[in-house]
Amino acid sequence: MAPTDRRRMVLGISGGIAAYKACELIRLATKAGFEVRVIMTRAATEFITPLTLRTLSNNKVVTDMFEEPERFEIEHVSLAQWADVFVVAPATANVIGKMASGIADDMLTSTVLACKSPKVIAPAMNTAMWENPITQRNIETLRDFGFIVLRTDKGQLACGDIGYGRMIPPERILQHAIRAVRRSDRWSDLRCLVTAGPTREPLDPVRFIGNRSSGKMGYAMAVELWQRGAEVTLVSGPVCLDPPEGIEVVPVSTTREMLEACAARFSSVDVAVFSAAPGDFAPADPSDSKIKKRPDAGRLVVELEQNPDIAAALGEVKRKGQITVGFAAETERLVENASSKLAAKNLDMIVANDVTAEGAGFEVDTNIASIVYRSGQVEMLDRMAKSQLAAVIADRIESLL
Ligand code: PMT
């Protein structure tokens, strides 16, 4: 979320050991631009104090339905109306069961029932409770009613059991809350394919030809499209970034693998963004064993063959209505070169970046880009964070939808 987008989150905390993780969620949510107001069940107050949460959220914490309201309002209704998103984390099996049955016997469940905003539920419970068909049925019921019920992680639980039931980390819950407030109908039914990162073209089993792409631009693009509500598949070369929450990541290594992964999905997507830096050449004859140093030879000559061009190959089978966006990594004649690539790859727009400019291109967190459109129009942009550039590109794609 942009720092200017101040949004309102009601965080419902129910009584489980994962309640302590709510502190981190409040901290992260506040940093991301949410104002947070907390409702705790009585059981939650046994695990964590309202004082801690009041201090972190900078707001009064509601724990009891019959306490004196801060203002003369019916508090569960006013909080329900105030919320842009309602997050329940942790959500115990008990609270999930109550929400699925429409029971409203405390402040948390009453407010959920009165709330028309998106609801994100982060379950946390013992494995046997999680696997119980009653819990699973309750979760399905909530999903049918439009609740966003998150998965649980597998691991060692507080009770010693190993299995599913662990609440997912706060940073991942936050991503869903951000998506819940940002998503729009425009994107909700769309499927997007994004490529990111470098490729590795093997010379032998231990060496490869690669490039400096970190994947930051492509990952920012994938996250932006997902937060707008699209279903996103990210075909990624080898990078050191964490897989983004909610996004299917298809790891690949070579350009040919990237082409194969993209070609298998291209016909079913509405939008494809080619942010990756696939290697244009690969060693023609990679060695099966490690190439040894030869003291007598000063040079090693490697023959390269040209790789397929992914964007161009898919541009040939692009159907009407499909939108494809390329990037152009240039070191000279930025717009001219980018325009030729736009035409050659049958793209709708191309984002040209001068990869020699400071604060642009490979590895850094910012980029300086010019967007070239089919019409020939060129939009020159200032330096901005890659996440901001991703938002601009998504806006431009939206205007073509
Ligand atoms: O990953 P980062 O460190 O954040 O860096 C971001 C970036 C510099 C990699 C990114 O902004 C960028 O410019 N990506 C495109 C890099 C590139 O391969 O540019 P190109 O001009 O060689 O290719 C033009 C377009 O064709 C690109 O959309 C590229 O993905 C695509 N291509 C290129 C070669 C190939 N064999 N197949 C392709 O599909």
Tell me, yes or no, whether 59 and 121 share the same domain.
yes
Q: Is the dihedral of CA 72, 78, 83, 88 positive or negative?
A: positive
pLDDT score of 3? 45
Tell me, yes or no, whether 322 and 262 share the same domain.
yes
Measured between alpha carbons, how far is residue 139 from residues 6, 11, 91, 95, 187 in Å?
Answer: 30, 19, 11, 11, 25
* 291 in any annotated domain: no
Distance 279 CA to ligand 1 centre (A): 9
Tell me, yes or no, whether 160 and 74 share the same domain.
yes
Tell me, yes or no, whether 160 and 235 share the same domain.
no
* 229 in any annotated domain: yes
Tell me, yes or no, whether 110 and 239 share the same domain.
no
Of the three residues 182, 207, 230, the one that is the final residue of a domain is 182
Distance 168 CA to ligand 1 centre (A): 33
Give 138-144's long-range contacts (Cβ < 8 A, gap of 24+): 138/93, 138/96, 138/97, 138/99, 138/100, 138/101, 139/96, 139/100, 141/100, 142/96, 142/99, 142/100
* 272 in any annotated domain: yes
* 245 in any annotated domain: yes
Q: How far apart are CA 173 and CA 23, in angstroms?
A: 13
Of the pLDDT bands very low, low, confident and very high (cuts 50, 70, 90), residue 215 is very high
Of the three residues 131, 153, 182, the one that is the final residue of a domain is 182
Domain containing 376 — which CATH number? Answer: 3.40.50.10300
Q: CB within 8 A of 313, min separation 6: which ones?
A: 259, 263
Q: Active-site residue 240, yes or no?
A: no
Distance 184 CA to ligand 1 centre (A): 28
Tell me, yes or no, whether 193 and 140 share the same domain.
no
Quick check: CB of 327 below 6 Å from ligand 1?
yes
Quick check: CB of 236 below 6 Å from ligand 1?
no
CA-nearest residue, atom 13 of ligand 1: 329
pLDDT tens, residue by residue, 292-335: 888 777 888 999 999 999 999 999 999 999 999 999 999 999 99
Tell me, yes or no, whether 209 and 102 share the same domain.
no
* 46 in any annotated domain: yes
Domain containing 115 — which CATH number? Answer: 3.40.50.1950
Of the pLDDT bands very low, low, confident and very high (cuts 50, 70, 90), residue 226 is very high
Residue 1 has pLDDT above 70, yes or no: no
pLDDT score of 69? 54
Q: Which helix (H) or strand (E) holds 176?
A: helix 170-182
Residue 76 has pLDDT above 90, yes or no: no
Q: How far apart are CA 237 and CA 213, in angstroms?
A: 9
In terms of residue numbers, what domain contains 47? 7-182
Mean pLDDT of 104-127: 95
Distance 368 CA to ligand 1 centre (A): 15
Quick check: CB of 257 below 6 Å from ligand 1?
no
Tell me, yes or no, whether 224 and 133 share the same domain.
no
**Count of alpha carbons within 13 Å of 331, Cβ hemisphere only?**
2
* Three-state SS annotation for 275-289: CCECCCEEECCCCCC
Tell me, yes or no, whether 270 and 345 share the same domain.
yes
- How many folded domains does the chain comprise? 2
Residue 207 has a CB neighbour count (10 Å cut-off) of: 16
Tell me, yes or no, whether 157 and 190 share the same domain.
no
Tell me, yes or no, whether 74 and 202 share the same domain.
no
* 326 in any annotated domain: yes
* 295 in any annotated domain: no
* 327 in any annotated domain: yes
Of the three residues 182, 210, 241, the one that is the final residue of a domain is 182
Mean pLDDT of 389-398: 98
Residue 11 has pLDDT above 60, yes or no: yes
Residue 161 has pLDDT above 90, yes or no: no
Tell me, yes or no, whether 258 and 165 share the same domain.
no
Strands (E), 34-133: 34-40, 61-62, 85-91, 119-123
**Count of alpha carbons within 13 Å of 97, Cβ hemisphere only?**
10
What atom of ligand 1 comes closest to residue 216's alpha carbon?
A: 4
CA-nearest residue, atom 18 of ligand 1: 277
